[in-house]
Amino acid sequence: MSQRLVIDGKALVDPHFSGIGHYTMSLLQALDEILVDEPGLDVRLAVPMRQVGHLARFRLRRIRPLGVPMSYTTLRRRLEQGRLPKMDRVCGRATYFFPNYVRWPLASSPSITAVHDLSFDKVPDSVDGPNAVFLRREVRHSVERSDLITALTATMADEIAAHYGVGRSKVQVVSCGTDRQRFYKRSDREVDAVKRAYGVFGDYVITVGNIEPRKNQVRLVDAFCALPRDLTDRYTLVLVGAGAWNEALIHARVNAALAEGFRVKLLLGSVGDDDLPALYSGACCSVFVSVYEGFGMPPLESMACQTPVVSSSRSVMPEVGGDAALLVDPLDSASVTAGLTEMLRLDSVSRHDLVMRGLRNVDRYQWPTAARALLGAVRSVGAARS
């Protein structure tokens, strides 16, 4: 029996290719590969008509584009204003998958919506005000009206079910994966070349994430500056990330640390995707002390590059890091300082053990597994509606 699946592809053609865009791209590329064994499933990627040509760069062979007869700006504005028409009357009846929090209005088609986190409710001070108001309203509507919700972790699935008062069976895990074709230990030669390109000298600690309050970089800089002097004399703290909401606070703290003589380097939006694995590979450790996440890819990317990880003990991070990360309280600078000190003083045997555990942990997260989980959700919705 044939089945039609329409996926909202707006995140793939957004001028700002965000983390949601990367998630959608990787999930759909994995889905595209396994569709060879799903001849009865017709998968379409819905984007504004003028953006259809932009999908060619993703090299999808079995997932075909579906042009929506409105501009990107109109689609976005009408979605934000709650003025979209019933989109299955525009794009045809199907099971719909929305990978970016918000479900389109539908007349009668079943739907699945991905809710990646609840930062707009749980840590509202870390989200732009108007966007938080929009998400607070629309995500609740999406949860109520969708047949299924997907989350990136079991921890977040539990949180979503409890927060919205829905049965846990309505929230299924469709997780992330690590691209092992890209994230792997790079050679000393490649590491040295990338360090020179970005002006990173000597030994360093790396943190990767949008430059914004939720990623907790201000407290991380505080913790780094409180390290024993022999460590701050030896190591540079390298912050890598795109500029985001309320980034001025982080800039001010970095400038203050530099004025105090500490070695801190902010690579704001300048590190290319192809260079990031080498920067991970060359770091003595990777630090990720975000106060709240739905998943958190940098720790897994670091582990894949054989770089040990100091990670937040809050939100989903203990689940994602497994037994391979050294956990610290992100809201306590002293805890972060202690974790960094312990990591940077590890003996070679303990460090090797942590690296091996990291590689085993990465194996738990693979994009084909996530794509199969999505297919399972699609089938369950179709069976329930038939």
Amino acid 212: pLDDT: 85
* Residues 238-277: tens digit of each pLDDT: 999 887 667 888 999 999 999 999 999 999 888 988 999 9
The dotted CATH code for 188-362 is 3.40.50.2000
Residue 69 confidence class, pLDDT cut points 50, 70, 90: very high
pTM for this entry: 0.93
**Nearest CA among 105, 124, 101 for reference residue 10:** 101
Q: How far apart are CA 344 and CA 347, in angstroms?
A: 9
User: And the tokens for 207?
Assistant: 């943190």
| 307 phi-psi bin (left φ>0, alpha ψ -120 to 50, beta other) | beta
Fold of 3-177+366-385: Rossmann fold (3.40.50)
Same topology, domains 3-177+366-385 and 188-362? Answer is yes
Task: Determine the Cα–Cα distance for residues 384 and 377; give it in Å rounded to an integer.
Answer: 11
**What is the tens place of the pLDDT at every residue in 114-132?**
999 999 999 887 777 888 8
Confidence category of residue 47, pLDDT binned at 50, 70, 90:
very high
- Residue 287 forms beta bridges with which residues? 310
Domain spans of the chain, in order of start: 3-177+366-385, 188-362
Rounded to an integer, the average pLDDT of 71-93 is: 94
With pLDDT > 70 as the criterion, what percentage of the chain qualifies? 99
Q: pLDDT tens for residues 302-328?
A: 999 999 999 999 999 999 999 999 999
Cα–Cα dist 302/306, whole Å: 6
Predicted local distance difference test score (pLDDT) of residue 129: 81
Amino acid at 163: H
Q: State the average pLDDT over residues 323-339.
A: 97
pLDDT at position 299 is 97
Cβ 290 vs Cβ 318: under 8 Å: no
